[in-house]
Amino acid sequence: MLGSPGAARIIGSKRECGNTNRQRKIAPFRHRGRARRGGRVTGIRPLVAGNWKMNGLGSSLAELASLRNRLEAAPVPETDIMVCPPATLLSRAREIVDGSSIMIGAQDCHPLPSGAHTGDISAEMLADAGATAVIVGHSERRTDHGESDTLVQAKALAAYRAGLMAIVCIGETEAHYRDGKTLDILRTQLEGSVPEGARATNTVIAYEPVWAIGSGLTPTPQEVAQVHGLIRTVLGQMLGDAEAGGTRILYGGSVKPSNAAELLFVPEVNGALVGGASLKAVDFYEILSVYAGTRS
C-alpha cells in the first residue's frame, strides 16, 4: 500500500522510518502471463538510461569514455544502455560512443520542428546531433517550467516525428503521495502524456516519484511493484495488451549502486532512469552490472 514518505524505506541503508496510518489500498492488477526470473520480467530487454541533467562540460566526457572502456572490458549482455548528456555535449558524446553499445539520448525537445523559438531545440535537431531518444515530461521540467500533460504529449509526438524514442516521465509529488493520490495522479498523467500513436518500439515510461528524487528516499520494492503493475494495466487500457505488455517501464528516483539490485529486479521494472549516479562511470557501471550478475 502507498502511504506517506514516512513509510518509505531508505533502501541500501540500515535506516527505516516508522509506518504511517495514511495508507491507501491499491486495486489488484493482473500480470499478463509473462515469465519471471529472479523478479525480472523475461522477454523485455531492460534499458538503463543515465540523465546528466544540467551537469557536464567537455571535460566530463572523460567519464563517458571510461564507461565505454568498462563495458568493452566486461559487457553487460541483453541490456540497452543510454546516456543523456546536456544538449551542448550531444555531438561529441555521440563521437565517443560510436561503434559501442552505448546510445545517446537527449533531455528535452520543443514540440515544433523549427521556428522563432529562441533557446529551444527541436527533436529533429537532436536526431541530427546523434540522439536516438529524448526524455519528455521529467518532473523538473513539469515543476520548473510548468509543463502540462498536453505539452508533454506534444513533445512525445515530436520525438516520433523525428524518429526518436520518447522516454515519457510520470510521477507523484510528496503531497500526492501523502494524501494517497498516487494512482489517480499517475493514471491522469499517463492518459494525458502518452500519445495514441505510442508503441512498445517508440515509447518508454519512466516512473519517478518526485519526493524520492535527490532525497535519498525510495519507495519500498512492494510499492514499486504495485505502481509499475498499475502503469502497465493503464497502458493496456490505452494501447491494448500487446503493446502494453512489451513497453518498458523504468524506475527513476534516487537509483544508486547501493539499491540497484533491489530495485531493478522488482516485478514489472524493466530498467532505470538514473540521475546523479550516472555522472561517474564507476557508479553507473556498478548499476549496470546488476544485470550482468556481477559487481565491479
Catalytic residues: 138, 208
Going by the DSSP 8-state scheme, the letter that residue 122 receives in this structure is B
Query: Among 154, 140, 144, 156, which Cα is nearest to 204's?
Result: 156
Our CA dihedral for 233, 193, 250, 120, rounded to 10 degrees, sits at 170
Query: Among 172, 166, 173, which Cα is nearest to 151's?
Result: 166
Query: What is the SS3 string spanning 175-210?
Result: HHHHCCCHHHHHHHHHHHHCCCCCCCCCEEEEECCH
Helical segments of the chain, H only: 61-73, 90-97, 123-129, 139-144, 149-161, 174-178, 182-193, 221-239, 241-246, 260-264, 281-288
Residues 6+ apart with CB under 8 A from 235: 190, 194, 205, 243, 244, 247
Q: With left for phi above 0 and alpha for psi between -120 and 50, is residue 271 left, alpha or beta?
A: left
